[in-house]
Chains A and B, each alone.
Chain A
Amino acid sequence: MSAKLFEQLGIELWQAKRSNPSLKKRLLRYLRLLAMTFSSTSQTTPTVTLLLTFLVINIYGTLASAQPLEKYQPVTNERLLHPEPQNWLMYRGTYDSWGYSPLDQINRKNVRRLVPVWTFSTGVGEGHQSPPIVNNGVMFITTPQNQVLALNARTGDLLWRYKHELPEDLFQLHPTNRGVAVYGDKVYLATVDAHLLALNARSGEVVWDQTVENYLSGYYMTLAPLVARGKVMVGVSGGEFGIRGFVQAFDAETGKPEWKTYTVPGPGEPGNETWPGETWKNGAVPVWITGSYDPQLNLTYWGTGNAGPFMGGTRSGDNLYANSVIALDADTGALKAYHQYHWNDSWDWDEVSAPILLDVHRNGRDIKALVHPGRNGYLWLLERGADKIAFVHAEPFVKQNVFAKLDPETGRPTYNPERIPGIDKRAEFCPSLWGGKDWPPAAYNPTTGYLYIPANENLCGALKGKPATYTPGQLYIGLEITDIELLPQKEAKDHIGELQAWDMNAGKKIWTKTFKSHNWGPVLTTGGGLVFSGGTNDRYFRAFDAKTGKLLWQQRTNSGVTGVPSTYQVDGVQYIAVQSGWGVDAQRKQELLDKAFGTKTFVPQGGVLWIFALGK
């Protein structure tokens, strides 16, 4: 009889799940009470008690896992401007791209007790780079091949899974994705076949699907979209295919295109004169990392990639707005200001990382700054304003032998001519084409005042160009693949990877952690005085003391950690979340390093999401 009662209760509970939350609570309480009564009396056999307990746990578990979606809290402009500490609502946590959370339950004193609480295999290979985005207990991650998974952030239960069907003839140079954006009750995904999708956050169903560009012409997307003031903004990849880069905004509700700003100006537009002849048409300049946003100025800041083909001699001129930061009005897309880090690139130094927005006190004054550790190996300090970006200071954070000097007023570099590769002209240069820092984002911690840079040192490279002919959808880089070389310096035997901490007020490097392996680790920093990062080929994910750089904790994972870490809190418990899944450029660079060193390094592939919390 009692079992029947339970069964009935279970069914009622199940039905109540959707319809009546207060009834659900009451039933739950009743059910638990009943279970306790049964367990504490000797009237039932232990087996029955066990079964009943199991049933209760099961029903309760189902209910709990469904709960976060039921009460999914829509994301508003206000919430994006001031995300609650327990949530991680966008690529870098906040619009200023700090990669910082004030959560401090996990801190430098107790981080040694950090243990995995659950993991989740994505079943996908290649580069898992997306940050777990968390909105009040609901987590969204993406994988290569454009899957989106919604998970219960506390329990690890899968809530829904969306698999994007990709065309069979897709030329997929960068099999990765860097995450979703969330807004209202939707989740936004930019795909490798150049679509922008809005999914229902509660069900994973496609609400709208916009074709941003034609993948057959080499356009694709890997970045997490940026949402501001009701618009979803994306940039396009495809610099290797002779695309013409742009940033485009869509209405978040309907998907209607709102504005589109090319990164290569057309005829009649200022800057077009920096491109000879028709070169602007296939000038590349992709945007493949999420921009930052200054709500006071209502400006979005995007980093831009290099021009194509790769050899600068084929497109003499500055090639605006390649290798730059551009400031676009969030409402209109109008280009309000820019700063070009370096002109007429020949080194494949995309400067796609969006600048970090900081208040810096330097030379006796307060600067509303843009800070950018560049792929070109220089750490840039710029000042932002409504219609200008002014150069303040720059200095190398790794060995750099291309820039002879910088103009003290404008920051414009002068090049050492022997370091510029060209058609049939091989040149060696430092850092390598993967730069002092590639896409993995740096982080800023306001409690220490330090900027944390995942860097690569002691690694130079060489390139030699060849003439290129443009064909839609074909590589248009003007390089023989075998003419891309990595040249480890003798110091590389000691280390290549670095994690650097810089005091931006003092303009000084405070500490450096070194790793024998190259470093592809995005950085998270927290109010607990910690810096989290992986990125090395030995599969470790680590926590450092943000002040001193001391290694406090590490966990060996399934694969190399090139995922952007995030942190969140549910029911009073702080979690650290990161995907481990080596691939894409980290894998490619590893192959070239092995070739240079005569070694063979095995880094297993396959994505796993890791969730850590404090153990006993």
Chain B
Amino acid sequence: MQRAECEAENQAETLFCNQCSSFRCLSRRNLLKSVLGIGFALSFGEQAARAQTDPKKTRPQVGDLLVFALGDRAGQLITRQDVPSGGPPVTTYPKDPHSQIVRDGSRLNRVLLVRLAPEVLTEQTRSVAAEGIVGYSAVCTHTGCDVVGWENATQHLVCPCHTSTFDAKDRARVISGPAPKPLAALPLQIVDGKLTVAGPFSGRVGAEQK
């Protein structure tokens, strides 16, 4: 689906369509289909192939919950209260609530959760946030490093490798450094009081080999 089509279908949610490629872009409707198991292979393409081989490597799916990726609480479910207000980010993995499988088979599935006051978020970013909690791919678009740095004053995410800096308030757009594009956003929502994945990553995660 082309970006224009995607935007038309999703109306104001342009963030959702920000990095649509011609062959891999999901609309809300397609997502719904995929949840229902219809048109799954079609809409997910390459991801579907992965899913069939290894659900641990499958990119986050609608309805997935999130768990701590690192530290003493690795594998434990994240609640809204676990994401500190104003940062720093928490590194998480998606988890399929049905199979209980944590999708930690690839670093590319790591998701940074940052909680900011909803009013400081841009409209685009607010539309994919859940109660001010925003999800971004944790892997830098430059050379694939983990984006572990956090600047409190500016609410910027900083990559330790080559200092690429992303604005957490505004779809992780590149503020400075060599990164060629924003970190992909992961739409979130609260379902039954739980922080839940509401859509796929807004674009390709990680770096591309040139």
| Min CB–CB distance B122 → chain A (angstroms) | 24
Cβ contact within 8 Å between A173 and B143: yes
Given the complex, which residues of A lie within 8 Å of B162, measured CB to CB? 584, 587-588, 591
Closest to A590 in B: B163
Chain A 583-598, CB-CB to B under 8 Å as 1, else 0, gives 1100110011000000
Question: Does A475 make an interface contact (CB < 8 A)?
Answer: yes
Given the complex, which residues of A lie within 8 Å of B161, measured CB to CB? 172-173, 588
Identify which of B139, B145, B151 contacts A482 (C-beta below 8 A). B151
Cβ contact within 8 Å between B210 and A173: no
Cβ contact within 8 Å between B143 and A172: yes
Question: Does A290 make an interface contact (CB < 8 A)?
Answer: no
Chain B 82-121, CB-CB to A under 8 Å as 1, else 0, gives 0000000000000000000000001110000000000000
Cβ contact within 8 Å between B143 and A592: no
Given the complex, which residues of A lie within 8 Å of B206, measured CB to CB? 168-169
Chain A 158-184, CB-CB to B under 8 Å as 1, else 0, gives 000000011011111101000000000
- Please report which residues of chain B, range 154-198, place their CB below 8 angstroms from some CB of chain A when the two chains form the complex: 158, 160-163, 176-178
Question: Does A480 make an interface contact (CB < 8 A)?
Answer: yes
Given the complex, which residues of B lie within 8 Å of A149, measured CB to CB? none
* Segment among A244-252, A359-367, A450-458, A466-474 that sits at the interface with chain B: A466-474
Q: When A124-B210, A125-B210, A591-B163 are in contact, do A172 and B145 touch as well, CB less than 8 Å?
A: yes
Closest to B207 in A: A172
- Please report which residues of chain B, range 122-169, place their CB below 8 angstroms from some CB of chain A when the two chains form the complex: 139, 143-146, 148-151, 158, 160-163
Q: When A469-B71, A605-B178 are in contact, do A170 and B144 touch as well, CB less than 8 Å?
A: yes
Cβ contact within 8 Å between B158 and A481: yes
Closest to A591 in B: B163
Q: When A124-B210, A473-B107 are in contact, do A171 and B145 touch as well, CB less than 8 Å?
A: yes
| Min CB–CB distance A100 → chain B (angstroms) | 33
Identify which of A168, A175, A474, A480 contacts B108 (C-beta below 8 A). A168
Most chain A CB inside 10 Å of its own CB: which residue of B108, B149, B209: B209
In the assembled complex, the Cα of A482 lies from the Cα of B151 at a distance in Å of 8
In the assembled complex, the Cα of A167 lies from the Cα of B144 at a distance in Å of 10
Cβ contact within 8 Å between A169 and B144: yes
Identify which of A169, A469, A480, A592 contacts B106 (C-beta below 8 A). A169
Question: Does A272 make an interface contact (CB < 8 A)?
Answer: no
Cβ contact within 8 Å between A474 and B70: yes
Cβ contact within 8 Å between A481 and B210: no
Chain A 550-583, CB-CB to B under 8 Å as 1, else 0, gives 0000000000000000000000000000000001
Cβ contact within 8 Å between A592 and B144: no
Main SS at interface, chain A: loop
Main SS at interface, chain B: loop
Cβ contact within 8 Å between B146 and A145: no
User: Total interface residues on A, using CB and 8 Å?
Assistant: 29
Closest to A484 in B: B160
Given the complex, which residues of A lie within 8 Å of B163, measured CB to CB? 481, 588, 591-592
Identify which of A145, A173, A481 contacts B209 (C-beta below 8 A). A145
Cβ contact within 8 Å between B177 and A591: yes
In the assembled complex, the Cα of A208 lies from the Cα of B106 at a distance in Å of 27
Question: Does A268 make an interface contact (CB < 8 A)?
Answer: no
| Min CB–CB distance B205 → chain A (angstroms) | 9
Given the complex, which residues of A lie within 8 Å of B160, measured CB to CB? 475, 481
Cβ contact within 8 Å between B144 and A481: no
Closest to A124 in B: B210
| Min CB–CB distance A500 → chain B (angstroms) | 29
Q: When A166-B209, A168-B206, A169-B107 are in contact, do A471 and B70 touch as well, CB less than 8 Å?
A: yes
Closest to B148 in A: A475
In the assembled complex, the Cα of A592 lies from the Cα of B176 at a distance in Å of 12
What would 16 more interface pairs be, CB under 8 Å, given A173-B143, A475-B160, A482-B158?
Answer: A123-B210, A125-B178, A145-B210, A168-B108, A168-B206, A169-B106, A171-B144, A173-B161, A473-B107, A480-B149, A481-B148, A481-B149, A481-B160, A482-B151, A588-B162, A592-B163
15 contacts between A and B (CB under 8 A): A124-B210, A125-B210, A145-B210, A165-B209, A168-B206, A169-B144, A172-B144, A172-B145, A473-B107, A480-B149, A481-B160, A584-B162, A587-B178, A591-B163, A605-B178
A residues with CB within 8 A of B: 123-126, 145, 165-166, 168-173, 175, 469, 471, 473-475, 480-482, 583-584, 587-588, 591-592, 605
